[in-house]
Each structure stands twice: as C-alpha cells, then as structure tokens.
A and B are shown apart, each in its own frame.
Chain A
Amino acid sequence: MNALVLDHVTKRYGDHVAVDDVSFVVPRGVVFGILGPNGAGKSTAIRMVNDIITPDSGTITLFGDVPPGRHAAPRLGFLPEERGLYPKMRVLDVLVFIGELRGLSGKVAKARAGAWLERLGLGAWQKHKVQDLSKGMQQKVQFAAMLLHEPELVILDEPWSGLDPINAEVLRDVVVELRAAGKTVMLSTHQMEQAEKICDHVCIIARGKVVLDGALADIKRAAANDHRVTIASNTQPWLSISLLDDPAWVVARHEERGELTLELAPTATPDAFLKALVDAGVSLRKFEIVTPSLHQIFVARVGPEAATASRVDPRAGARS
C-alpha cells in the first residue's frame, strides 16, 4: 500500500499556477524527496497534503483511503519550513500541547514528551521556557513535537534550512531511524547534495510541474553515460599517451584538477578502452564511468535558469 498518492492535483493563486497537474506516488517505508528550485510549488504541495490549503482540482489520498484532514492528521508528522514554538511556554508543556492537538491523551503525551527530551539530551530543560533555550535546542524540541504522536508519514519542508551542522546530523539520523522502523518520510529540499545522501526516491518539480519521478538508483542509472569516462594517470604528461589523440577512441576531452574526462567514440566501449590503455603501458590511478550527480541531472532536466527561478506571488501561502 502507498503512503501518499497525488492524482492530477492543481492549485492556482490568481493567475499564477503554483501546482500544475501534479501526480506522484509515495510508497511506504521510503524516504521520498521532492526536489525543485524555490518557487517550484513544493511547499504548496506539502500544505495541501497537510490540509492547510485545499487543491482546486485533483485528489490527494493518504494511507490508501484517507483524505487529508481530521482523520489523517493523527497519523501525520509535519515540520514546516517556517517553524516556531510558544516562546513563553515551558518545554514540556508545549510538547504535551502539540501532542494533544494531534490526538494524544494528556497522559500519553506527557510520558512521550519526557522520553523524547531525555533522548535529545534536553531532560534537564523540561521546566524551562522555550525562549530560554538556544536555537539549536529549540530545533530539537521541534523534532520531538513532530514525532510525539508516532506518525506513519513524516513530512519535512526544507528541513535543513536554518539547521546547524550538528542538528542536521541529528535530523539525518532521525530520518534513517524512521525508515528502519518502517515509517515513510517525505521531504522537500533544493539542496541536491543532502537529498542524494538520504533519499530512496525523488520527484523533481519545476514551475509547478513534475519533470522527473522515480527511484534514485534508477534515475542515476538511466542518466549514466557509457561513453563518458574519467581517468587519472601517473604517466605524465597526458600528451605522451597517444591513444587520447586517436579519434577511433576519443572524440572530446576536458581536463580538470589533474583528471581527464573523455567522450569516447561511438564504436568504442569503456571495457575495450581500458584494455587498450593497459596494453599501451599507461599506469592508471583512476578509471571511472561517469555517473552524473543528482545536481547535474537536476540542472539538465530543469535548465539552469529554472534551477534558480525565484518565487512568484508571495501572497496567501503561494510561497515555494
């Protein structure tokens, strides 16, 4: 069963289409990344899943048969991009409050809040006001608030924005742990490096439309180019390797930081080229078939100008 299905979902703000006929499926038990530049419609999509705003058309289904809203809320955890807690409330009280809002009884919420604070190393701060905590500590409390009701699907909107490196690590551990426990995590980010490290499945959105959707491994395999290799050699200079000037093998080359990236001729294969290099007595330090990074795939798909597109019409939650 799938954790979340978006089926032809559209949301407009005036003339601006924030989310344009978007469909994707989040399978259970995966870490699902929604990637896209600022203003692509990621937050709008996430807000619709959380029933903060309603789609103009299309349907959203959670856990097989639950629409967003009252029945889904107790099974969802959400860390918004802009997040805060009541500054004057005591840490424990604020956690119990949010737990109760998500449908826990006061007693259960209190027990779990205490346990979470211990786990995050904030046990001694239970009775302190939120405003007395450092920003990093407050972020940890926000993680606990999101997970207190043990949600099946956890949604993180730009989770790394504003996080210090230590808490970024804490959050990554939490995500890995959630996946190990069979929970589903959906996160949005424009930081491709972070996504590449943690996501099983990605969906790239640009200008409100899905441009690429699939398992990360499949996407990378598909984007891999059998005719592009990177080599590094102890044999210097490069020119002494005559094979590199032979158009039967190499049609283009590019040198960067002591490494050569080569475009092989259509008739050549990496295996044969490697054998030819070894036979020619070249001493190799590195030989690699180039797999593009997620960032390169992203730029290739959405274009450099879209990758940096700014958000449009900030009114009424139409942000990113």
Chain B
Amino acid sequence: MIRPAWLVVAKRELSERLRSKWFIAVTLLGPLFMIGMIVVPAVLAHSSAKVHVAIVDESGIIGPRLETALRAGGWQVDARPSDTSEATLMQGIRDDVIDGFVRVPKDVLDDGTTVYKGDNATSQVVSYTLQAQLTRAVQLARGARFGMDDTQFDAILRSPRFVAEHTTGTEQTINGTAAFALGYAVMFIIYLSILLYGANVLRSVIQEKTSRVAEIMVAAAKPDALLLGKIMGVGGAGLVQMGVWLAIAGLLVANHTTVLGWFGVTASFALPSFGAGDIVVVLAFFLAGFFFYASLFAALGAMVSSEQEAQAAQTPLVMLLIIPVMCVQLIASDPRGTPAAVMTQIPLFSAMLMPMRYLLGGATLGELLLSLAILCVGIAAVAVLAARIYRVGLLAYGTRPSLRELWRWLRKS
C-alpha cells in the first residue's frame, strides 16, 4: 500500500515514541501515581489511629478530658505525673515507647501555651487532632468554671452539620470540594500533556535540523506534509497515553472502595462521577489544544538551531500556557459567570479551561461545542503561520531570525 507522505511521517513518529522506554514507563507510572493519590491519604488517615502519646498535665483539669477524647479517636494515651522530667519523656521517644508527649501548663485556661513534642509532629493529622481536642477540652473546662457540666456544654458547642453540594439545577449534585478537585486534576493533566508533548515536537524538529535529516526529508516530501505528519504522530502518542490514563482513572474512581480495600482501608468517600462522555470531552480538548500549541512549538523549532537556543525561545509559549493555570480560581469560583464564559472561548486557553468548566457544570453543551469550533478555527490559522515559518526555517541554520526577518519568511513563502 502506498501511503501519503504525512501518514508515513506520522507512523514513524508514533512508532518511535510508542517503542521508547520513557513513554512506556510514564504511561504505566501515571496510574500508579493515581492509585497513590487515592490510597496514601486514606492510609495515612487510617494509620494515625496508632498514635501513642503521653500527657503531662500541670493544670490538673485538662488531662482527663483530653485523654478521654483522644482515646475515643483510637489513640493510645498514657497519663504521666505532672513532675515527670523532660529527659524521661525524651528517652521514651528514643526507645519508641511513645511517639510524643503533650505538656499542658498550669495556666492553660488563661493563654498558657501547650506544647507537643514528638517524632510525628510533622503530621498534619496528628497536630490537627491534638489542637482540636485540646481546644474542646479547654472550652469544656472554661464552661465548668461557670458551673456548666460537660454534657450540657458539649451540647452547646456541637457544630451544626453542613455540606456544600455543587449543582447547576440538574438532578445531579456532587460534593463541591470533590468536583473542584476533579476539574483541577483534569485541567492540570491537559496542561502538562500539552506542555510535554509540545516541547517534544520542538525537540524533534531541532534534532532533525541538527542531524541534517531535514535536508533529505524536504526533498522527498513537502514541509507541510512533514509538519502535519509530525504533529499527528506525536499527538497520537499523547492520545494513547492520555487515553490509558483516563480509562484507568475512570475505573479507579468507579471502584475506589475495592482499591482501598486492597490496602486494608475500608473508608469510602463520595467521588464525583467521571463517565465515558467526560473522557471524550477531555480527549477532544486535549487533542485540539495540542494541535494548537504543537504547531507553534514546531515553528519555534524551525527557527532555532540548537536545544540551548530553544530553551530561551520557548519561554513566551510556556508563559502563554501558564495563564490558564493561573485562571483556575476564576472558573472554579463562578463557573457560570462572565469571566469564565469568556476565558473558555479564547483558543489560547480554552483547551485547558473548558473541560474543567464543563465538569463543574458551568458550560452548556452548546458553549462546549462553540468553544471547540473556535479552537479548531484557531488551529487552522496557527497551522498556516507555522507551516510558513517551518518551510523556510527548516533549512536555515545560524542565528535566530529577528522579528523583521520572521515577517519576511511569513510573507515570501
């Protein structure tokens, strides 16, 4: 079968990448990373149950309350006499009898500082739990000063139950934090993939220039076909990788209870749904965004003669890519607002921001399709410019063209 030139090039680029050890490693490590993201926090929350602390209560009123509360949370607690020396306690930590100790001062009810020293003081869970339970114990003790008994005062202090659910008027409602986390993760994966694969296109163009393969290639096929083939091939590799990731992410989210079960964690938390339709949206915007930026990266590669030069030259492009990352809050805080609506229609940013806004329910299907259509028009415009630069630049060596020269390249080809 005789293939058109762009397809021959795309096939070569794709097979080169699919065979590379790096590609295989990253594709497989991605899901491991995702499993880690789900499992590690759960395991950590779980393992904090095994904390063992000593309480040295100089106040004589906080100790028992704190002890009861921490025990209720599954901690192991030793009450030590108030005259226990620091050295003895430190020895306990060294011998791994205890993880740490809390010293409650005499004036704890009147702004005295309670100190915790331990080998797990870096743990957010440990310090948060200690602070919360200490606060509660101090509040109860202060209540007792005014003659309130602990049960009564506890009833007053109990927090009202509150939950924020994200909805746009449809039947489906999801936990707001979880929805934001999902939208943010999707935005970040698209951003990272476009950046990595875009830079990959840039590097591969430079390699063709420096190894002088370009000379042989341009005689055999039109630069436009070479450019198209290269972007298609690299984009194909990116699509394969992201497809694998998203499919596994979907499976993980759907079966997170089972996955956590493998690690002995029984907790289950509500995760937003992430279905096949969402995967299609994410892949479509990734591909479109990739084509948009890859054309620019390819043109940039044709303009420079070495990787070092490329490092400097690609800064403006990377800056452009960072703008949508900085606009995340703009979308998340008001997915249906005007700023979000405008940002997600601009082709420079829409690839990263629109899937997020869509997942947050901020965009209608119509807005989604309009954004994709505008992005496609943007790709066409960028591709024409990039092809012109590519045509001239591929065989030009030496110093980087000035803006004026670049303008000449654009006009004459």
Contact = CB atoms under 8 A, between A and B. Distances in A.
B219 A85 contact: no
Contact of B12 (A73, A85, A97, A102): A97
B2 A82 contact: no
Contact of A101 (B1, B5, B397, B398): B5
A253 B218 CA distance: 55
B213 A101 contact: no
Interface in B175-233: 211-213, 215-222
B219 A86 contact: no
A80 B2 contact: no
Interface string A34-78: 000000000000010011100000000000000001100100101
A69 B12 CA distance: 22
Given A73-B221, A76-B219, A85 B395 contact: no
A100 B3 contact: yes
A73 B219 contact: yes
Contacts of A52: 218-219, 395
B215 A100 contact: no
Contacts of A145: 216
A273 B386 CA distance: 72
A230 B392 CA distance: 53
A84 B16 contact: no
B254 interface: no
B19 to A, nearest CB: 10
B8 A101 contact: yes
B211 A101 contact: no
Nearest to A14: B408
A81 B219 CA distance: 12
A80 B216 contact: yes
B216 A83 contact: yes
Interface of A is mostly: loop
A85 to B, nearest CB: 6
Interface residues of A, number: 34
Given A80-B215, A85-B216, A316 B392 contact: yes
Interface string A283-320: 00000000000000000000000000000001111000
Given A100-B3, A104-B2, A317-B396, A84 B212 contact: yes
Contacts of A80: 212, 215-216, 219
A86 B216 CA distance: 11
Nearest to B226: A101
A98 B395 contact: no
B259 to A, nearest CB: 38
Contact of B212 (A83, A102, A104, A317): A83
Contacts of B221: 73, 101
A182 interface: no
A317 B213 CA distance: 15
B242 interface: no
Contacts of A317: 395-396
A2 B405 CA distance: 39
Interface centre among B2, B9, B211, B219, by most chain A C-beta atoms within 10 angstroms, is B219
Contacts of A85: 211, 213, 216
A106 B15 CA distance: 15
A67 B368 CA distance: 46
Given A103-B2, A106-B1, 20 more contacts: A47-B395, A50-B219, A69-B222, A73-B219, A80-B216, A81-B215, A82-B212, A86-B211, A86-B213, A98-B220, A101-B5, A101-B9, A105-B1, A142-B216, A314-B397, A314-B398, A315-B405, A316-B392, A316-B409, A317-B396
10 contacts: A51-B219, A51-B222, A84-B215, A85-B213, A86-B211, A89-B12, A97-B12, A100-B3, A105-B2, A316-B396
